[in-house]
């Protein structure tokens, strides 16, 4: 093991990571159907999509024939049918979250508008997929499968219409202007509904022939809101509306449509019951969109990850060739390395790369998580149906499962010898307990991935663009980086902008069951740190502890005026803590993926020569990302923990006294003892009864001693992170690349 560690520390990155590495990190090595699908999607992305972008296809708002010509490519390559079950004309059985994530990643590697065009069809069908009646599924999902040769049926192309013209639905999804009324209801017959809906920014609307639309009741004979399936041939008005003059994702079609249509009541997604002469939809529009978005948002998050990772090779190529003019001769550093001679350019590229890796790791982990959750969710629904539990009664039963899941976590956190094995087995084998555990994490992973991957990802795409100089902001930029930067902003916006994800996180990240699992993840990082300190797992564990301390504190603490800190209207507290959590989750998943690669990589003989170098480089990249995450988390938590306290007196004397007498003095006593190790600091603190922080001379720190100690410890944990960056920077100067990208510019 030591010998291996030794080799790894000296091995260097030979080539950019290929499919073998990705399959292992993102855990689909054994899924050959996915390998094939990735190849097929890549072929479309780097072929017809790339040619269309390079040929200026993005320079129009309209849905042109050239853009429409991509649809048959999606159909023929299997991209369209990948969403469907085999019985519906698809070819992959089981959950499809990872499948769709991989397709989105491949398409967005070149152009996220093309990815959106393909995925928006799935989004349009998703209400039917998630909550539709068996009849609705049979009709629309099957009709969405590409027609086979000789089969002349009209293929369903779907769109999803929630957003409405201002001042109605946007972030606030409850403000529906779209209405549904009973148009006709003859005794004993199925009611006919009148649906009026205007949409804003509806993707695929240039060509969709089926729309799932969110509407509210405008009739005493219909209860609440619902989603309704609209078809192009329904009687009434089907106006596709004007194309949106968007600056992004121009290969997808976006319009502001107007519908005024009569449809049979069986088009209510998920069906309805008639109670006392009132149509009661089985699902409200918000129940449906919640079920839909919690899956589709993960895929969006991965589009931005693809952009960041796709930027690495064009930037390296650009940097290396930049100084080849003038007197430089082959073989000289100036000729061979170009801008790569400059440390800052290398370091910034590493930041882009590390962000791309961490966000891809987070996104694919979330996709896999939902794959596992999907089947458990079905079991849960069946269990509730068998027990005839709905509404509050169902909620009560599921809360019991949450308590049992907490009990299981308590048992498994004890040493094996001290556990109640019988109870452990009993709880482990209960699918509903497992569901409760996974669900609590899924409720965090999805918004975290959408928020961090796209929001922070968009910021980092700007960094990527800046590394290409003026070229970065031209249409000719290799890798289309300028367009990708703008596109990333849409990914941060549609399917709910960052505020929506932060709002959701502020509710789900304080779930006791999530926090209990997060505690276990801290212990897991400490264990990894003892085997692989180079990953920065120790730093991450401390940053996770700091966040945990802060989140627990703010839930009970008040500010200087006695007002509660953790409250839904206090977004200044909840939102930054949500951001901080995302940094941790992404860095954690990146470390876990590198550990996976290190552990399983030897099973693949094709990786034999390059594995050690790849793992060594990725280990340094993890360290870089962890250090950055720790910095963000430290800053955010410190602002919140200290920022809502009032400074005792802001005059020079007290300020001076305060600082000199406690903080500076304590730091002086800390620093000589710290010797580069946070544990040493901790020991110094523990053994020193007269430590100024313990004595608490500064009222500002009263009750916050543990936080202050953790924060100082976190700084100490950064030891070595810049050495890792230097090593990784050197690797960037040596890694082999292709002579040119495999798609046109
Ligand atoms: C190209 C494109 C394609 C799209 N495709 C579709 C589609 O196919 N179907 C569909 O239904 N929609 C679609 N959308 C709409 C998209 O989902 C919405 O634009 C998005 O959800 C935001 O709504 P809004 O633009 O009305 O922003 P607003 O609701 O006006 O919000 C603007 C900003 O205000 C702030 N804000 C708002 N509310 C809050 C709050 N509660 N707390 C804190 N801050 C807040 C946030 O910063 C937010 O970003 C698309 C949009 C675009 C641009």
63-118 residue pLDDT tens:
999 999 999 999 999 999 999 999 999 999 999 999 999 999 999 999 999 999 99
pLDDT of residue 150: 86
Ligand 1 atom at minimum distance from 203 CA: 8
Q: How far apart are CA 693 and CA 667, in angstroms?
A: 10
**Cβ–ligand 1 contact at 292 (below 6 Å):** no
Atom from ligand 1 closest to the CA of residue 497: 49
Residue 453 CA to residue 308 CA, distance in Å, equals 10
Candidate from 259-273, 562-576, 660-674 with smallest mean pLDDT: 660-674
In this prediction, residue 284 carries a pLDDT of: 97
Q: Which of 137-151, 254-268, 325-339 has the lowest mean pLDDT?
A: 325-339
Q: Does 459 have pLDDT greater than 60?
A: yes
546: pLDDT strictly greater than 50: yes
Report the 3 state secondary structure along 93-153: CCCCHHHHHHHHHHHHHHCHHHHHHHHHHHHHHHHHHHHCCHHHHHHHHHHHCCCCCCCCC
Mean pLDDT throughout 53-59? 96
Centre of ligand 1 to C-alpha 736, Å, is 42
Ligand 1 within 6 A of 139 CB?
no
Q: By C-alpha distance, which of 170, 163, 389, 130 is closest to 269?
A: 130
CA nearest ligand 1 atom 49, residue: 497
User: Does ligand 1 come within 6 angstroms of the Cβ of 175?
Assistant: no
Residue 8 has pLDDT above 90, yes or no: no
Q: How far is the CA of 688 from the centre of ligand 1 (A)?
A: 54
Q: What is the mean pLDDT of the chain?
A: 92
Spatial CA neighbour of 125 closest among 145, 95, 104: 145
Kindly tell me if the per-residue pLDDT of 611 is higher than 80: yes
pLDDT at 165 over 50: yes
Q: Going by CA atoms, what residue is nearest to atom 43 of ligand 1?
A: 499
The pTM (predicted TM-score) of the whole model is 0.93
Give residue 500 CA to ligand 1 midpoint distance, Å. Answer: 9
Output the residue whose Cα is nearest ligand 1's atom 40: 499
Tokens 């296809």 map to which residue? Answer: 57
Question: Is pLDDT above 70 for 4?
Answer: no
In short, whether 127's Cβ falls inside 6 Å of ligand 1 is no
Is the CB of 36 within 6 Å of ligand 1? no
Is 495's C-beta closer than 6 angstroms to any atom of ligand 1?
Answer: yes
Confidence band of 659 (pLDDT split at 50, 70, 90)? very low
pLDDT at 9 exceeding the cut of 80: no
pLDDT of 295 reads 87
pLDDT at 709: 92
Residues with Cβ within 8 Å of residue 121, at least 6 apart in sequence? 80, 83, 144, 157, 158, 159, 204, 208
Q: Which is higher by pLDDT, 616 or 676?
A: 616
**Is a pLDDT exceeding 50 seen at residue 679?**
no
Among 120, 494, 567, 574, which residue has the most ligand 1 atoms within 8 Å of its CB, making it the best to mutate? Answer: 494
Integer angstrom CA distances of residue 377 from 113, 437, 441: 31, 12, 14
What does the pLDDT average to over 143-172? 94
Task: Report the percent of the chain where pLDDT is more than 90.
Answer: 86
668 or 580: which carries more pLDDT confidence?
580
Ligand 1 site, residue 499, Cβ cutoff 6 A? yes
Contacts of 441 (CB under 8 A, 6+ apart): 369, 514, 517
The finding on whether 171 has its CB within 6 A of some atom of ligand 1 is yes
Q: Which atom of ligand 1 is nearest to the CA of 214?
A: 11
Q: What is the pLDDT of residue 352?
A: 98
Q: Do 483 and 58 contact (CB within 8 A), yes or no?
A: yes
Q: What would the mean pLDDT of 689-700 be, rounded to a whole number?
A: 50
486 lines ligand 1 (CB under 6 A): no
Q: Flag whether pLDDT at 691 surpasses 80.
A: no
Counting every residue written for the chain, the total comes to: 745
pLDDT at 654 over 60: no
Residue 404: Cβ within 10 Å count:
18
Using the mean position of ligand 1's atoms as its centre, give its distance from the Cα of residue 229 in Å.
22
Sign of CA dihedral 232, 128, 65, 260: positive
According to DSSP, the residues that pair with 181 across neighbouring strands are 194
Compute, in angstroms, the gap from residue 171 CA to the centroid of ligand 1. Answer: 5
- Residue whose Cα lies nearest atom 23 of ligand 1: it is 170
Would you state the pLDDT for residue 391?
86
Cα first-last separation, the chain = 45
Q: Establish whether residue 202 lines the binding site of ligand 1, counting it when its CB lies within 6 angstroms of any ligand atom.
A: yes
Does residue 638 surpass a pLDDT of 50? yes
Question: How large a percentage of the chain has pLDDT more than 70?
Answer: 91
**pLDDT for 486:** 97
Determine the residue of 121, 126, 198, 201 to mutate for testing ligand 1's pocket, defined as the one with the most ligand atoms within 8 A of the Cβ atom.
Answer: 201
Would you say the CB of residue 246 lies under 6 angstroms from ligand 1?
yes
When pLDDT is cut at 50, 70 and 90, the band that residue 671 belongs to is very low
pLDDT higher than 50, residue 7 = no
**Cα distance between residue 547 and residue 630, in whole Å:** 10
User: Residue 496 C-alpha to ligand 1 middle, in angstroms?
Assistant: 6
Average pLDDT (158-187) is: 97
Residue 703 is predicted with a pLDDT of 82
The yes-or-no verdict on residue 217 having pLDDT over 80 is yes
Q: State the residue for tokens 């589009």.
A: 303
Please give the pLDDT value at position 686.
58
């Amino acid at each position: 093991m030591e010998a291996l560690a030794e080799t790894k520390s000296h091995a260097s990155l030979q080539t950019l990571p290929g499919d073998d590495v990705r399959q292992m990190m993102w855990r689909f090595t054994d899924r050959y159907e996915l390998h094939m699908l990735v190849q097929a999607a890549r072929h479309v992305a780097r072929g017809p999509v790339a040619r269309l972008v390079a040929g200026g296809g993005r320079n129009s708002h309209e849905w042109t024939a050239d853009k429409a010509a991509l649809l048959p490519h999606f159909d023929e390559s299997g991209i369209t049918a990948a969403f469907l079950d085999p019985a519906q004309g698809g070819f992959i059985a089981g959950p499809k979250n990872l499948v769709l994530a991989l397709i989105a990643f491949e398409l967005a590697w070149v152009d996220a508008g093309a990815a959106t065009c393909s995925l928006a069809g799935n989004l349009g069908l998703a209400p039917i997929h998630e909550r539709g009646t068996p009849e609705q599924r049979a009709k629309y999902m099957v009709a969405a499968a590409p027609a086979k040769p000789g089969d002349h049926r009209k293929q369903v192309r779907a769109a999803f219409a929630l957003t409405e013209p201002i001042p109605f639905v946007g972030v606030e999804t409850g403000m529906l202007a779209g209405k549904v009324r009973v148009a006709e209801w003859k005794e004993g017959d199925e009611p006919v509904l009148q649906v009026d809906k205007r949409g804003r920014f509806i993707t695929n609307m240039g060509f969709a022939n089926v729309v799932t639309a969110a509407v509210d009741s405008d009739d005493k004979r219909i209860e609440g809101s619902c989603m309704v399936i609209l078809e192009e041939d329904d009687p009434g008005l089907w106006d596709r509306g004007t194309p949106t003059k968007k600056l992004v994702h121009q290969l997808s079609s976006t319009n502001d449509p107007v519908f005024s249509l009569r449809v049979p009541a069986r088009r209510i997604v998920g069906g309805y019951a008639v109670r006392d002469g009132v149509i009661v939809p089985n699902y409200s529009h918000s129940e449906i969109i919640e079920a839909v978005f919690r899956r589709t948002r993960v895929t969006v998050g991965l589009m931005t990850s693809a952009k960041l990772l796709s930027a690495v090779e064009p930037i390296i190529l650009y940097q290396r060739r930049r100084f080849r003019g003038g007197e430089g001769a082959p073989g000289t550093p100036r000729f061979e390395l170009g801008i790569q001679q400059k440390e800052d350019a290398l370091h910034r590229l590493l930041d882009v790369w590390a962000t791309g890796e961490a966000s891809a790791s987070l996104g694919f982990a979330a996709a896999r998580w939902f794959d596992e959750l999907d089947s458990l969710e079905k079991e849960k629904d069946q269990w509730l149906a068998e027990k005839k539990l709905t509404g509050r009664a169902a909620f009560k039963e599921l809360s019991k499962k949450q308590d049992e899941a907490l009990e299981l976590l308590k048992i498994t956190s004890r040493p094996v010898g001290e556990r109640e094995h019988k109870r452990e087995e009993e709880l482990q084998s209960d699918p509903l307990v497992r569901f409760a555990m996974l669900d609590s994490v899924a409720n965090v992973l999805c918004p975290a991935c959408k928020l961090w991957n796209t929001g922070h990802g968009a910021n980092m795409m700007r960094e990527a663009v800046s590394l290409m100089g003026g070229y970065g902001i031209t249409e000719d930029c290799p890798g289309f980086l300028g367009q990708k930067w703008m596109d990333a902003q849409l990914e941060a916006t549609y399917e709910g902008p960052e505020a929506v994800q932060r709002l959701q996180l502020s509710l789900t990240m304080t779930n006791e069951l999530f926090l209990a699992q997060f505690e276990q993840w801290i212990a897991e990082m400490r264990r990894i740190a003892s085997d692989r300190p180079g990953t920065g797992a120790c730093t991450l564990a401390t940053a996770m502890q700091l966040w945990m301390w802060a989140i627990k504190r703010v839930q009970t603490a008040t500010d200087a005026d006695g007002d509660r800190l953790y409250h839904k209207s206090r977004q200044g507290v909840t939102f930054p803590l949500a951001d901080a959590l995302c940094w941790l989750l992404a860095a954690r998943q990146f470390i876990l993926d590198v550990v996976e690669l290190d552990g399983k990589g030897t099973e693949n003989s094709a990786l034999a020569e390059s594995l050690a170098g790849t793992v060594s480089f990725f280990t340094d990249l993890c360290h870089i990302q962890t250090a950055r995450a720790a910095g963000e988390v430290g800053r955010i938590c410190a602002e919140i923990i200290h920022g809502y306290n009032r400074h005792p007196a802001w005059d020079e004397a007290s300020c001076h006294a305060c600082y000199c007498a406690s903080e500076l003095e304590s730091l002086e006593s800390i620093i000589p003892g710290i010797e580069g190790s946070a544990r040493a600091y901790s020991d110094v603190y523990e053994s020193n009864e007269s430590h100024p922080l313990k004595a608490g001379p500064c009222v500002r720190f009263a009750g916050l001693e543990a936080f202050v100690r953790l924060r100082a410890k976190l700084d100490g944990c950064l030891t070595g992170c810049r050495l890792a960056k230097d090593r990784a920077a050197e690797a960037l100067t040596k890694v082999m690349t292709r002579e040119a990208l495999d798609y046109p510019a």
